[in-house]
């Protein structure tokens, strides 16, 4: 969206979406927020820059023309592009007694600001297609928040209450699209899931839980991220791979047997800025999740896809945080991505209908990935 807002950089959107599509990629995750910062979408609560909103319109329009669907995130946990911190600043300016970013989840004014933003996004009529976002089949789904955490309440009650409130609100406006939370996938220490797969003890105190968060009414699929080179204290690549193996296995297993819903690995990577980094190790790391997703797809399991972080235009090296992938370059990683896309595309046909049994306690109530892939054919026929 930020690149599309400037005429001199808008072509990057065209190029990256076309390049991704040429590699067989079908879903792109990007931001539907930029709060009170440079090229802000939401300049202040309820006040939007129309030029930037038209830039988001353009992103959706170009995704459609390339056969790509978008997973759109609605706010950031972090201060990049505004995030929870900006909402706190806005609430303070409105006279609210808020001091911590975690007040974002409990303060009534902050919660209303967020709901107002959700409504503005979902009811937006695209200036290129004349289609309201909530009726647009190009949009794969919504993500409530990127990587939510609430360390002030390790019990998880605060964040869970917010998730349940906001998921219900999103679905009250838009029952066409899939919805997820946007969590990194950490388990609470008392989780019903595989808390032993956490990268460290601290991650169990962040107020999130992979299982509980996705059991909120209205949540349709689960997500997890993976950054072992940041999460683990070791710099040993073999340790990264060992961790990632168990991390992916745990989330696929828990999504299938406890949640009964698909899981997407929506961010993962190895950073080129870390010691001992090699492209060979990076490729081996990516192959772990690709192979496990493919194996899950073969048996119609919960593993439904992997969205690497992050695809960049060659003119966007300043955006590269070490995890950048440049799809225009013929490299070992783009070959691996294309191979994964090809074998997933030919592994099975989407389901033609919804399951009859909606009992989420039944671990094998339906062919999870088939329904996940076929859902938009069903809804937006």
Q: Which of 101, 143, 147, 253 is catalytic?
A: 147
Question: Which tokens is 71 given?
Answer: 């997973």
The DSSP secondary structure of 264-327, one letter per residue, reads: EEEEE---TTSTT--HHHHHHHHHHHHHHHHHHHHTT-SEEEE--S-B--TT-GGG--S--B-T
Is-catalytic flag, 267? yes
Q: Which of 101, 149, 253, 267 is catalytic?
A: 267
Check: CB of residue 157 under 8 Å from CB of residue 102: no
- Rounded CA separation 325/309 (Å): 8
Within 8 A by CB and 6+ apart from 171, the residues are 179, 218
Residue listed under structure tokens 């909606």? 358
- Rounded CA separation 147/313 (Å): 24
The DSSP secondary structure of 99-137, one letter per residue, reads: -SGGGGGT-HHHHHHHHHHHHHHHTPBPTTT--BGGG-T
- Rounded CA separation 269/287 (Å): 11
Angle between helices 332-345 and 279-298 (to 10 degrees): 0
Check: CB of residue 293 under 8 Å from CB of residue 226: no
Is-catalytic flag, 238? no
The DSSP secondary structure of 208-238, one letter per residue, reads: --HHHHHTSTT---EEEEE-HHHHSS---HH
- Rounded CA separation 350/370 (Å): 5
- φ/ψ of 64, rounded to 5, equals -60, -45
Which residues are designated catalytic? 147, 267
């Amino acid at each position: 969206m930020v690149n599309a807002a400037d005429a001199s950089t808008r072509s990057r959107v065209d190029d990256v979406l076309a390049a991704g599509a040429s590699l067989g990629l079908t879903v792109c995750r990007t931001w539907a927020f930029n709060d009170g910062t440079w090229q802000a979408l939401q300049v202040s609560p309820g006040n939007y820059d129309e030029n930037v909103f038209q830039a988001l319109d353009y992103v959706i329009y170009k995704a459609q023309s390339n056969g790509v669907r978008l997973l759109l995130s609605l706010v950031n946990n972090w201060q990049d592009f505004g995030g929870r911190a900006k909402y706190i600043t806005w609430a303070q300016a409105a006279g609210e007694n808020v001091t911590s970013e975690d007040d974002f989840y409990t303060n009534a004014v902050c919660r209303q600001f967020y709901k107002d933003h959700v409504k503005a996004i979902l009811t937006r009529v695209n200036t290129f297609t004349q289609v309201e976002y909530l009726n647009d089949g190009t949009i794969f789904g919504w993500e409530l928040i990127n990587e939510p955490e609430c360390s002030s309440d390790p019990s998880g009650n605060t964040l869970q209450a917010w998730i349940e409130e906001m998921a219900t609100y999103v679905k009250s406006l838009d029952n066409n699209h899939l919805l997820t939370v946007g969590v990194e996938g950490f388990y609470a220490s008392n989780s019903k899931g595989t808390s032993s797969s956490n990268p460290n003890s601290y991650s169990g105190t962040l107020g999130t839980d992979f299982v509980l968060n996705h059991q909120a009414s209205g949540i349709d699929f689960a997500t997890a991220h993976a950054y072992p080179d940041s999460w683990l204290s070791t710099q040993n690549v073999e340790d990264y791979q060992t961790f990632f193996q168990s991390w992916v296995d745990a989330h696929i297993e828990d999504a299938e047997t406890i949640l009964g819903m698909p899981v997407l690995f929506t961010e993962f990577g190895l950073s080129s800025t870390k010691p001992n980094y090699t492209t060979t190790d990076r490729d081996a790391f990516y192959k772990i999740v690709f192979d496990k997703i493919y194996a899950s797809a073969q048996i119609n399991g919960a593993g439904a896809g992997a969205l690497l972080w992050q695809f960049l235009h060659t003119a966007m090296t300043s955006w590269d945080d070490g995890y950048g992938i440049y799809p225009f370059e013929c490299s070992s990683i783009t070959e691996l991505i294309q191979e994964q896309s090809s074998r997933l595309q030919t592994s099975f046909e989407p389901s033609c209908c919804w399951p009859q049994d909606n009992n989420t306690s039944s671990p094998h109530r339906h062919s999870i990935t088939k329904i996940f892939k076929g859902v938009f054919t069903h809804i937006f026929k």
